[in-house]
Homo-oligomer: A and B are copies of this chain.
Amino acid sequence: MKFDIMRDRLLAGLNDVMKAVSSKTTIPILTGIKIDVTHEGLRLTGSDADITIQTYIPVEEDGEQLMNVSATGSIVLQARMFNEIVRKLPTNEVEIEVSAGFATNIRSGKSEFHLIGLDASEYPLLPEVAEGRQFSIPTDLLKSVIRETVFAVATSESRPVLTGVNWRILDNELICVATDSHRLARRKIQLEQLPAEINSVVIPGKSLNELNKILEDTTDLVQIALTNYHVLFKTDDVLFFSRLLEGNYPDTSRLIPEEYKTNVTINGKALLQAIDRASLLAREDRNNVVRFETLENSTVEISSNSPEIGKVEEQISVENLEGESLKISFSAKYMMEALRAIDGQDVIIQFTGTMRPFILRSIHDDAILQLILPVRTY
């Protein structure tokens, strides 16, 4: 294998695949990046066994020569070291040459590195993803869907399936649900040409967070392909594979109340900031709980108190207040995350009493629903 390439392009590709490489892996070859060179281009692969990321750099793009290939081949190079070497090379031209025994030379300007590579044939193969079960989503919409749901997955491994986001297809709708059993986030999207044969998959929250970091905020389509064990997200430059979580995702639809006794319409940003202030005192306690109370004159009061430090109270005018008066307590963290997911618009909060779950929605549409279980303090 021997080729030269523009350093900036190699570095950009490495930055993406590095996101899959974990220093904690127990599989030695996965501390490396696989480099495959053909006469058409260069493919980089990084993986931690759960997530695999591939990027592709063609020999020529838009008439510009990005690399010259003298001899094809494959090698695995220690990921962190290779990435840092490429980042610090003195010129924008890099020559990489592999000779017998996986000995690898990296040359740039008057600088020459000799690394000992690993046998690329020992690198794990990628999962096979069937062509049939595919659909696509604009990249920016996919990023929104991830942002609006993934924060609500469980962080504890006591029920592993809850550490993922459940994607279900029902008619022409993709329904994404995350819950840690104390709160729930649900996002629905209408999509065309959804495959019928997939009912429900669970994508690890960690995978979606990494995917979100790699995707750029464009309207280009992301191709999504599903198998029983894997999901593949495909853009022009990047292939992102993730293992799916096994196990049955719980039916969450019956958690959502059907009748409400108190409805509050309120500016989401004003409420978020008031909760943020109240949580300054609340978080000194173990449970980070704030109180929410309806008052007369279209006003609610947010309050919190910590016996050792002090207390805080704040009144907020609401757009609309209907139904029974209410005093309720909840986690400031859950409420702030739910409000951030709805993103600053006017929100409707619907309660069914002090000890029942309540829901938050945008006044504009039902696409995002956030549900929170209250905490008993009164």
Contact = CB atoms under 8 A, between A and B. Distances in A.
Interface of A: 78, 81, 84-85, 88-90, 104, 110-116, 273-274, 276-277, 280-281, 308-316
A307 to B, nearest CB: 10
A114 B274 contact: no
B312 A88 contact: no
Contacts of A114: 310-312
A135 to B, nearest CB: 43
A238 to B, nearest CB: 27
A111 B274 contact: yes
Count of identical protomers in the assembly? 2
A265 to B, nearest CB: 18
B280 A316 contact: no
A85 B277 contact: yes
Contacts of A115: 309-310
Contacts of A113: 277, 281, 310-312
19 contacts: A81-B281, A81-B309, A84-B280, A85-B280, A88-B276, A88-B277, A89-B277, A90-B273, A90-B274, A90-B277, A90-B314, A111-B314, A112-B312, A112-B313, A113-B311, A114-B312, A115-B310, A116-B308, A116-B309
Contacts of A90: 273-274, 277, 314
A51 to B, nearest CB: 25
A88 B84 CA distance: 40
A309 B112 contact: no
Of the listed residues A78, A90, A110, A116, the one surrounded by the most CB atoms of chain B closer than 10 A to its CB is A110
A309 B113 CA distance: 10
A310 B98 CA distance: 13
Contact of A314 (B110, B116, B309): B110
Nearest to A317: B110
A273 B88 contact: yes
A78 B112 contact: no
